[in-house]
Amino acid sequence: MAISRAMPNGPSSVEMTNHLLVTRVRYSCRMMTFILFIVQGARCHVPCASCQVRKISVPRSLFPVPRSLFPIFVCFTRNWRPHMSILHDKLTAQAEDLRARRVALVKEHGENVLGSVTIEQVLGGMRGVPALVCETSSVSADEGLRIRNIPIMELTDITPEETFWLLVTGQRATSEELEEMRNVFAKFYEIPSYVVNTLKAMHPESHPMAMLSAGLLAMEHESEFRKAYDAGVGKDGLWKAIVNDSVRLIASMPGLAAAIYRIRFNKGEVIAPLSDNNDMSANFAHMLGVSNDPSWTDLLRLYLVLHSDHEGGNVS
């Protein structure tokens, strides 16, 4: 049994112990609050290659680590949190089977001839020439468009996020999967300010498609693939960066297209996306600034679904 003794000019050992315990509890609470603050979307003061965080103001009371270590700490917490974990897990589970099927197909039928090619077909843009495999969609004169072998007329009530999940995985999204895609897409609806400035700096009579190309190329700085490749990540690990870049580009398209429309045709300032959990079509309709009519939003939703894919390599 320990007996504490009062110091002549200072606190007792019990008081010191209590002080240390209280300090540690306060520190732990602040640390947990800080971690939650980061996980919920905080960003550090110094942008870095791994997490692409943005500058914000962090309350001092939530800052239990030195300022100099803040970017490193944020990178750790941000990278610790899975990014599109459900989609990555789904694709990882499917990849092994797809690789095995491909190897077996080449091994068993690699020498089979698919057909002949005429000069007329070559001069006509390869129409009717089998040149690649496309599993996402198909187009026939009799049935029209089928997405993952589902007739398009059976998909007229789904959202762009659901369509994306179906195209990528071949399966209809569950509520949990759909929520993840909505949350991930929502992060990228607002295009970076430097992209907006790039579009504004172009000639006022630039063609919208030229502006689209310039805007997409300007976003190269955001590429996770570029950073992973420069860091020496192997081929087996690059696919996740490719998926992340693809998702970011798709999610950025409504904001980019809306910005081009408003800048090129003098419709006013670029409109920020909706802050609440709306899907892509609702955000696209809002950022265009054309109408608040729900039927306009639904029309854009249907348009985005119908034009989501048109058979890879189709030359119609």
pLDDT digits (tens, 9 = 90+) for 233-265: 998 889 999 999 999 999 999 999 999 999 999
Domain layout of the chain by residue ranges? 22-80
* pLDDT higher than threshold 80 for residue 277: no
* Residue pLDDT, tens place only, 77-111: 333 334 678 999 999 999 889 889 999 999 999 99
Inform me whether the pLDDT recorded for 174 exceeds 90.
yes
Q: Residue 195: exposed, middle, or buried by beta-carbon count in 10 A (0-12, 13-18, 19+)?
A: buried
d(Cα 308, Cα 166) in Å, to the nearest integer?
Answer: 11
CA distance 170 to 135: 9
The predicted pLDDT at position 313 comes to 65
Provide mean pLDDT across the span 155-160.
94
Token pair of 223 as six digits = 């590429």
The answer to whether 208 and 260 have CB atoms below 8 angstroms apart is: yes
pTM of the complete model: 0.69
Tell whether the model's pLDDT for residue 70 goes beyond 50: no
